[in-house]
Chain A
């Protein structure tokens, strides 16, 4: 079994209310402790991407802050390449490439090249190699043509790629990407995800990435960590997740729109059939019935069925279902 590059064991984080002396300096509305992470454990191996998903406030950013040393865990331990993220934070930051969610973290008044050179110097890259390495990195992310353009002149997609360039400049073993596609259009987002996938393979990286974009998570097609209220709801690969939670669905397409609506009304009362959605002329039904038995029920309806096929449950819905179940909703 491959050794874990990122190893998180029972990490919990409670943001305690500020002590009295600190409240003199900074007011906080939190009177009670806030549980941000609760007994989170996971391992990420080299060459693996772990997508961290969950609603706002699920604990994704706190987990990344723990890993980058910006905050300390209250319980548990996290290591990167065997280095303790709490006690060896400076050494950890040498082997981690971090991409924050906010593109203002770049020096937007300066060129792509200057941004990377600054970062390179902070990494103590030898002066003779700085420009060469910066140019190489810009090439990798497809920004070679924009090396002398300032940050403000770049599109959101290009800025995201520049942030990624900064994260990979020093050839880290680990990439931590906080909502890298957050502000991007679907095409830019697709391109960025593809670059991340290629880099993961080529450089054998262990990658943790948070995203609210379901299509990114599906495209990454690797491991998923689903967090809610700081707790792990699911950790594993997408296919297993589908196998565990996906309900069989059948999409029926009618010749005429009104037939879909009428059939939906009719089968609503049939035990074992759930009307998932009606978007005439399409009707999606959730059922474990065989196609023959289902057709028997549908024949009572009017109109000609143009096609009938098995439909996949959208990942968005699958995740929402899991979160609802965790919160005790039906």
Chain B
């Protein structure tokens, strides 16, 4: 088999696995319509809450891009997109374990390193869908976005999801061995909510703690998304759009490399101690 044929075969296999997970994710979602609807509707709640908070705060300085409500909503869009990457894989593993078909997934002839990418596809699609809904509803509620920035925003979303996935793979690596509990995810999500600037500019964080913000990919995704989508985003002090995109790209390269290596080690440890089939 030539290199070209091998590559084509691998791509075909990856596409086929991706399609399998997309279809099954879709079927799972529509099998529980009420659960699906309430989950999606729940994502809208913060957008409504912050409309009122925005009115209360009435902050319009350059540090929030001239409009606090749009500033927070943009942060919420990033949270939504990144959550698919960060929590999607772990959540899908949990679901497979609860349903009882995780062991069977591991026996499918799919390289185990392909599973994270396949399993987050549907959560990713859902995240993009709910991001669009949140964006539309918040526009109706008074948020203002720069339509010309949508192509850049899509690039930010793709990189943010990749960076999130690398953390998600790390988190799942622990989950595979620990079965319950998710220390990496817990610590990260807590940190991201406080230190990444979703709800307030990171300049408000005491300088001693601020370095934490710069090691979290959420921070760069927030900066990039605001620069891309907010009408006065360019005025927000700090990194430029291209610098934030570069940082996210680095998170992708390093994070995915490290994440997949740790995941591989975790699976091998699971095989050694017989932890892949028992929960």
**Interface, chain A (partner B; CB < 8 A):** 15-16, 18, 22, 25-26, 36, 61-62, 65, 68-72, 90-91, 93-94, 96, 98, 100, 102, 104-110, 114, 117-119, 121-125, 127, 170
In the bound complex, residues from chain B placing their C-beta under 8 Å from that of A127 are 16, 19
Question: What would be 24 A-B contacts, judged by CB atoms less than 8 Å apart?
Answer: A22-B177, A26-B178, A26-B179, A65-B274, A69-B271, A70-B107, A70-B276, A70-B277, A71-B271, A71-B272, A71-B276, A90-B111, A93-B109, A100-B107, A105-B100, A107-B24, A118-B24, A122-B17, A122-B108, A123-B108, A124-B16, A124-B17, A125-B16, A127-B19
Chain A CB within 8 A of B163 CB = no
In the bound complex, residues from chain A placing their C-beta under 8 Å from that of B108 are 93, 119, 122-123
Q: Are B271 and A70 in contact (CB under 8 A)?
A: yes
Question: In whole angstroms, how far apart are the Cα atoms of A72 and B268 in the complex?
Answer: 9
Q: Are A121 and B271 in contact (CB under 8 A)?
A: no
- Residues of B227-279 at the interface with A, using a CB-CB cut-off of 8 Å, are 268-269, 271-277
Shortest Cβ distance from residue A109 to the other chain B in the assembled complex, whole angstroms: 4
In the bound complex, residues from chain A placing their C-beta under 8 Å from that of B269 are 22
Question: In whole angstroms, how far apart are the Cα atoms of A170 and B13 in the complex?
Answer: 14
Q: Are B17 and A16 in contact (CB under 8 A)?
A: no
Given contacts A121-B20, A124-B17, contact A71 B104 (CB under 8 A): no
- Residues of B101-124 at the interface with A, using a CB-CB cut-off of 8 Å, are 101, 103-104, 106-112
Residue ID in chain A nearest B20 by CB atoms? A121
Query: Helix, strand, loop or mixed for chain B's interface?
Result: helix
Question: In whole angstroms, how far apart are the Cα atoms of A136 and B12 in the complex?
Answer: 23
Q: Are A123 and B109 in contact (CB under 8 A)?
A: yes
Shortest Cβ distance from residue B59 to the other chain A in the assembled complex, whole angstroms: 43
Chain A CB within 8 A of B28 CB = yes
Residue ID in chain B nearest A121 by CB atoms? B20
Chain A CB within 8 A of B55 CB = no
Centre residue among B13, B110, B268 by max chain A CB count within 10 A:
B110
In the bound complex, residues from chain B placing their C-beta under 8 Å from that of A121 are 16-17, 19-20, 23
Chain A CB within 8 A of B31 CB = yes
- Residue of B19, B101, B103 touching A70 (CB-CB under 8 A): B103
In the bound complex, residues from chain A placing their C-beta under 8 Å from that of B112 are 90
In the bound complex, residues from chain B placing their C-beta under 8 Å from that of A68 are 107
Question: In whole angstroms, how far apart are the Cα atoms of A233 and B179 in the complex?
Answer: 35
- Residue of B103, B106, B268, B273 touching A22 (CB-CB under 8 A): B273
Given contacts A22-B273, A26-B179, contact A70 B100 (CB under 8 A): no
Q: Are A100 and B27 in contact (CB under 8 A)?
A: no
Q: Are A106 and B101 in contact (CB under 8 A)?
A: yes
In the bound complex, residues from chain A placing their C-beta under 8 Å from that of B17 are 121-122, 124
In the bound complex, residues from chain B placing their C-beta under 8 Å from that of A125 are 16
Centre residue among B100, B108, B109 by max chain A CB count within 10 A:
B109
Total A-B residue pairs with C-beta atoms closer than 8 Å? 106
Q: Are A18 and B273 in contact (CB under 8 A)?
A: yes
Chain A CB within 8 A of B99 CB = yes
Chain A CB within 8 A of B157 CB = no
Question: In whole angstroms, how far apart are the Cα atoms of A101 and B159 in the complex?
Answer: 41
Shortest Cβ distance from residue A115 to the other chain B in the assembled complex, whole angstroms: 9
Chain A CB within 8 A of B174 CB = yes
In the bound complex, residues from chain B placing their C-beta under 8 Å from that of A108 are 99
Q: Are A65 and B277 in contact (CB under 8 A)?
A: yes
Q: Are A26 and B19 in contact (CB under 8 A)?
A: no
In the bound complex, residues from chain B placing their C-beta under 8 Å from that of A72 are 268, 271-272
Q: Are B13 and A62 in contact (CB under 8 A)?
A: no
Q: Are A93 and B271 in contact (CB under 8 A)?
A: no
Question: In whole angstroms, how far apart are the Cα atoms of A180 and B17 in the complex?
Answer: 27
Centre residue among B19, B107, B177, B272 by max chain A CB count within 10 A:
B107
Given contacts A70-B106, A72-B271, A98-B107, contact A122 B16 (CB under 8 A): yes
- Residue of A15, A61, A102, A109 touching B273 (CB-CB under 8 A): A15
Centre residue among B12, B28, B112, B273 by max chain A CB count within 10 A:
B273
Q: Are A104 and B272 in contact (CB under 8 A)?
A: no
In the bound complex, residues from chain B placing their C-beta under 8 Å from that of A170 are 109
Shortest Cβ distance from residue A266 to the other chain B in the assembled complex, whole angstroms: 55
In the bound complex, residues from chain A placing their C-beta under 8 Å from that of B271 are 69-72
Shortest Cβ distance from residue B91 to the other chain A in the assembled complex, whole angstroms: 17
A98-B107, A104-B101 known, 10 other contacts, Cβ within 8 Å: A22-B177, A26-B178, A70-B106, A70-B276, A70-B277, A93-B109, A100-B103, A100-B107, A105-B104, A122-B110
Q: Are A15 and B101 in contact (CB under 8 A)?
A: no
Residue ID in chain B nearest A25 by CB atoms? B178
Given contacts A26-B177, A26-B179, A118-B20, contact A107 B101 (CB under 8 A): yes
Q: Are A107 and B99 in contact (CB under 8 A)?
A: yes
Q: Are B28 and A109 in contact (CB under 8 A)?
A: yes
- Residue of B16, B20, B101, B177 touching A25 (CB-CB under 8 A): B177
In the bound complex, residues from chain B placing their C-beta under 8 Å from that of A69 are 107, 271
Question: In whole angstroms, how far apart are the Cα atoms of A90 and B107 in the complex?
Answer: 8
Question: In whole angstroms, how far apart are the Cα atoms of A110 and B26 in the complex?
Answer: 11
In the bound complex, residues from chain A placing their C-beta under 8 Å from that of B268 are 72
Question: In whole angstroms, how far apart are the Cα atoms of A83 and B7 in the complex?
Answer: 22
Closest 3 CB pairs of A and B: A104-B100, A121-B20, A25-B178
In the bound complex, residues from chain A placing their C-beta under 8 Å from that of B106 are 70
In the bound complex, residues from chain A placing their C-beta under 8 Å from that of B177 are 22, 25-26
In the bound complex, residues from chain A placing their C-beta under 8 Å from that of B273 are 15-16, 18, 22
Q: Are A110 and B99 in contact (CB under 8 A)?
A: no
Shortest Cβ distance from residue A186 to the other chain B in the assembled complex, whole angstroms: 25
Given contacts A22-B273, A26-B177, A122-B108, contact A110 B100 (CB under 8 A): no
